[in-house]
């Protein structure tokens, strides 16, 4: 069973601060996805990264896939209260299903 470790598990910051969330594994993934989940809802896909070293930007969010395709990071610039939520990474090993990390609970205080 592949294991995805996310850090930190909890993060509470002030509006306007920057932050980085990490997702690490000993397994190689064919692709890696990031989801955000808000209370009472299911996770929603933010981005998929496929190529080692790939960087994708989504407004204030920057996603990076490690060169060896074993790890990824999510960087948020100038965080806003609307960024509050549970951030989940999920890896695909070309099987039929994704393996999810435990998540990072982000709280951005106004």
Partner 1 sequence: NAGVTQTPKFRILKIGQSMTLQCTQDMNHNYMYWYRQDPGMGLKLIYYSVGAGITDKGEVPNGYNVSRSTTEDFPLRLELAAPSQTSVYFCASSSRDRWKQGYTFGSGTRLTVV
Considering the complex, state which of residue 9 and residue 77 has its C-beta at the smaller distance from partner 1: 9
**Interacting residue ranges for partner 1, rule: CB under 8 A:** 1, 6, 9, 30-31, 33, 35, 40-45, 48, 50, 88, 90, 92, 96-98, 100-103, 105
Q: Structure tokens of 109?
A: 């205080």
Sheet of 61-65, strand order: 5-7, 19-24, 71-76, 61-65, 55-58
Q: Which is nearer to partner 1, 33 or 64 (CB)?
A: 33
Q: How far, in Å, CA of 33 to CA of 13, rounded?
A: 24
Tell me how far apart the alpha carbons of residues 53 and 72 are, in angstroms, rounded to a whole number: 9
Strand partners for 13: 108
C-beta of 19 vs 102, nearer to partner 1: 102
Q: Contact at 8 Å (CB) between 9 and 62?
A: no
**Residue bearing tokens 């982000």:** 106
Which is closer to partner 1, CB of 18 or CB of 30?
30
């Amino acid at each position: 069973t592949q294991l995805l470790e996310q850090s930190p598990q909890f993060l509470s910051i002030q509006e306007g601060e920057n932050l980085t969330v990490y997702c690490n594994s000993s397994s190689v993934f064919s692709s890696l996805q990031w989801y955000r989940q808000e209370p009472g809802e299911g996770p929603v896909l933010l981005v998929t990264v496929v190529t080692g070293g790939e960087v994708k930007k989504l407004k204030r969010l920057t996603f990076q896939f490690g060169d060896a395709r074993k790890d990824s990071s999510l960087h948020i610039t100038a965080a806003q209260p609307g960024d509050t939520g549970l951030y989940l990474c999920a890896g695909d090993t070309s099987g039929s299903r994704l393996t999810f990390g435990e998540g990072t609970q982000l709280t951005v205080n106004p």
